[in-house]
Structure 1
Amino acid sequence: MELIREDYLKLIRPYYDVDLIKVITGARRSGKSVLMETIKDEILSRGGKGSHIISINFEDLDYSFITDANELHAEIKSHIVDDDKYYIFLDEIQHIENFEKLLASLRSKFNCSIFVTGSDSTMLSGELATLLTGRTVEFEIFPFSFKESVDFLALNKIECEPNEFIKDYIKWGGFPLRFSFKEENSIKRFLDNLYSNIINRDIIKKSSKIDRQAFKDISLYIMSNAGKEFSAENIARYYSQKNKKSVSARTIYNYLEKLQKAYLLHSCKKYNIVGKTALDTSDKFYATDTGLRTLNTNTINYEDTFFLENIIYNELLIQGFTVFTGKTYKGEIDFVAVKENKKCFIQVAYLLATEETIKREFGAYDKITDASPKYVLSLDRIDLSHDGIEHLNIVDFLLHKVSLHLS
């Protein structure tokens, strides 16, 4: 059974009949098409007419005859026979040349509500931005969160104990189709094929000069080191030495940009805690899904906090926070989570198993005078809160049993 992704639907529902183009973005196979089907079902349940829903998926061979905006315009126009409202769903619209002009034309000529999906962040830039300034609203869809994964397994009557499942989620992430496989080899093969497909269709196809193997090797290295300090120079040096093949830091930055455009990575900018200002620099990047982070990792060290950081970072984005890395004079706070001009600070740890670990994680706040709430998140079940710093269990946080307070 398919999961109803209520958290996203709550955000999109207010726009069902609003004259804005609803742009649903995210990595391939993150669930955009299924979400579109759910939206169609809801519109029908509210009294919408099936004959007034026009739906085209550009990865469906039935529509391979449509290659440009003029052909698509003619196809859509042939289904519009009256002045009542039509709901138009266009899946993976980036495949259509000059789709921006088509969307502008549909908005101006017909009584319609338009929903589009895409796997390329540049959809919302360039000509689309020029033609439709102020007429689009974007919703980025992630693979299943931890809570959605637990709910999906329960819905399909698959046994899942959250405190045990967290290790599986750390390793294999939440791409919906990966739950179709039980064996780890099958899951890894699926993720590897998915990653290759994204590279071939969304990156290499558009940049034929890219060395396919070099891009895959370097991008997987970047992905497997997500959350760590990023240095293009160090990555270029490492790759060149390992493969006896020179690559420049500029090429690394080029690859990094393409990974972000394909929604495989997100950048985390710095926040100057002392000056209370966001800095226009990024020195950390996090993978959209930890399953992709695992592809280039032979073994998983569950005490590697970077995996948990990655999951917390994505969860914060899903919950609507703007997330930064906190910089102090002499150190760093894992995250500064901001929403509606309020914030809190977050440290992430695997287990607070020793006094040294407790002192390190809680001690990160010693020099911070900002009164905003301070949290340490770990997998421990014992509440170790002290000195005004609140300790939360990661599983409880991911299941929304506890929440963050901001000030």
Structure 2
Amino acid sequence: MKTVERSIFPALKAALDDSRIIVLTGMRRVGKTTALRWLLEQVESNNKIYLDLERLDQREVFQEKNYDNVVEYLRNRGLDPDAPMTVALDEIQFVPNLPSVVKYLYDHYAIKFLLTGSSSYYLKNQFTESLSGRKVIFEMFPLTFGEFLDFRGISYQKKENFDEMVFNRHEFERLNAFYEEYLQFGGLPNVVLEPKGETKREILSDIFSSYLNIDVKGMADFRKIGELEMLLRVLANRIGNKLDMTKLSKVVGISRPTLYEYIDFFEKTYVITLLSPHGNPDRSVAGGKKLYFRDNGIASLFMNPGEGALFENALFNQLQSYGSLSYLGKEREFEIDFVIRKPDQTEFGLEAKLHPVQSDQERLAYFAGKYHLQGSWLVGRLATPGFDQFIWGGSIY
């Protein structure tokens, strides 16, 4: 089966010409292994190998004290250590001492390493200092809606500018069923490719169970797994809301210091992400940041998929590739869900609405002008009779 290329692939391929170690990270089942195998195929030399460190027989050699034994292992697997080698290692978090092994081999042999790991938590705690200056890190996220359509073999025309995305009824009628599926089940490749809704939910549940039983237990010193699961259920029903750590601590019965640890872990293992207020990106986790999940499918395990929060959550993830994001609003005043800052530093406001209407547009335009934004758009989930001056969410690929 031909690999469907992801938007990250060109950047990964370009990094092959860089001598540094390529590290690809992201949440479970996001497509890292497929990307790693694809990247290895782009290496013209045959002096290369793929190893899955989740397999005991392939990770044992990396756990030995004599790191030179790895080179002998590669020789026995058919590689020539006297020539440049490319070694792809999948699921590096299964070998705690791997950073030391890779650093030694990188410094003493002509090896180009391609690595994947399921957690920036692991990378930042175990991997950063030992490979300082020797690596380039790529983050992989669930499919965009455009990639979702690519995986399903559905044609579409991507538009780069929001002005070009004004509601098109023909596009809406052709793609709306796919977009509603994307909102409910998210963008994890295995889920997208599964045709049956019931099986999709089973796959999502399996992914989440693996996250709790492997990632949480293996990468963090958390003992109360049930406590983390309960917290995620509470967080899923606060999508798009500002985090109030004091109130949240009382609701879930978890101390604030422990709550900070849990939130940090969820963020670094790509389950949730936090959106900073406009003009103040460095505020702390409790300092008014808004909460979103990285994948709608995972979020929908804990909430009603018909809720408007899932639409806002999907929109947040869809907008990631268009510029840097923040939100704008003050107490008792109108809030703009998303402010996008383009590379040229121009800023635009976008507001998510289930049923957009003219009065919403007028109010948004007023507050966008008040905050000196260069433009604003309503983004709607559903068509509204008699009003088409908005962007349909499914047009943001």
Please tell me the TM-score bracket, short chain as reference.
0.7 to 0.9
Q: Match of 2:110? A: 111
Report 1:330-349 matches (<5 A).
330-340=333-343, 342-349=345-352
Residue type of the partner of 1:259?
Answer: F
**Shift in CA distance, 351/180, structure 1 to aligned 2, threshold 3 Å:** closer
Choose 95-104 or 359-368, whichever is displaced more. Answer: 359-368
Question: Percent same amino acid at aligned positions?
Answer: 21
**Counterpart Cα distance in 2 of 1:77 and 1:323:** 48
Flag structure 2 segments of 5+ consecutive residues without an equivalent.
155-172
**Counterpart Cα distance in 2 of 1:262 and 1:16:** 26
Q: 3-state SS of the aligned residue for 1:365?
A: helix
Q: Deviations over 1:21-55 (max 9, x none)?
A: 11100001000000111112222xxx321xx1121
Q: 2:240 aligns with which of 204, 227, 251?
A: 227
Q: 2:275 aligns with which of 227, 247, 268?
A: 268
**Counterpart Cα distance in 1 of 2:144 and 2:112:** 29
**Counterpart Cα distance in 2 of 1:324 and 1:77:** 51
Does residue 264 of structure 2 align to residue 257 of structure 1?
yes
**Shift in CA distance, 320/25, structure 1 to aligned 2, threshold 3 Å:** farther
Q: Deviations over 1:255-301 (max 9, x none)?
A: 111111211111211223xxxx544344112111000110111x322
CA RMSD of aligned residues (A): 2.7
Mapped contact 2:357–2:387 kept (Cα < 8 A): no
Mapped contact 1:150–1:162 kept (Cα < 8 A): no
1:127 to partner: Cα distance? 5.3
Choose 350-359 or 5-14, whichever is displaced more. Answer: 350-359
> How many residue pairs get matched?
370
**Counterpart Cα distance in 2 of 1:285 and 1:122:** 18
Residue type of the partner of 1:210?
Answer: R
Mapped contact 1:266–1:286 kept (Cα < 8 A): yes
Mapped contact 2:52–2:59 kept (Cα < 8 A): no
Does residue 92 of structure 2 align to residue 86 of structure 1?
no
Flag structure 1 segments of 5+ consecutive residues without an equivalent.
240-245, 386-390, 399-407
Mapped contact 1:338–1:344 kept (Cα < 8 A): yes
Q: 3-state SS of the aligned residue for 1:270?
A: coil
Mapped contact 1:203–1:262 kept (Cα < 8 A): no
Residue type of the partner of 1:268?
Answer: L
**Counterpart Cα distance in 2 of 1:82 and 1:136:** 21
Mapped contact 1:219–1:255 kept (Cα < 8 A): no
Mapped contact 2:121–2:265 kept (Cα < 8 A): no
**Counterpart Cα distance in 2 of 1:290 and 1:349:** 16
Q: Name the structure, 1 or 2, with higher relative contact order (CA <8 Å, separation 6+).
A: 2
**Shift in CA distance, 69/93, structure 1 to aligned 2, threshold 3 Å:** farther
Residue type of the partner of 1:96?
Answer: V
Task: Give TM-score, length-normalised by structure 1.
Answer: 0.82
Mapped contact 1:336–1:343 kept (Cα < 8 A): no
Report 1:34-49 matches (<5 A).
34-43=34-43, 47-49=44-46
Report 1:382-397 matches (<5 A).
384-385=388-389, 391-397=390-396
1:99 to partner: Cα distance? 1.2
**Shift in CA distance, 256/127, structure 1 to aligned 2, threshold 3 Å:** closer
Task: Give TM-score, length-normalised by structure 2.
Answer: 0.84
**Shift in CA distance, 96/365, structure 1 to aligned 2, threshold 3 Å:** same
Report 1:72-83 matches (<5 A).
74-79=69-74, 80-83=79-82
Q: Match of 1:286? A: 292
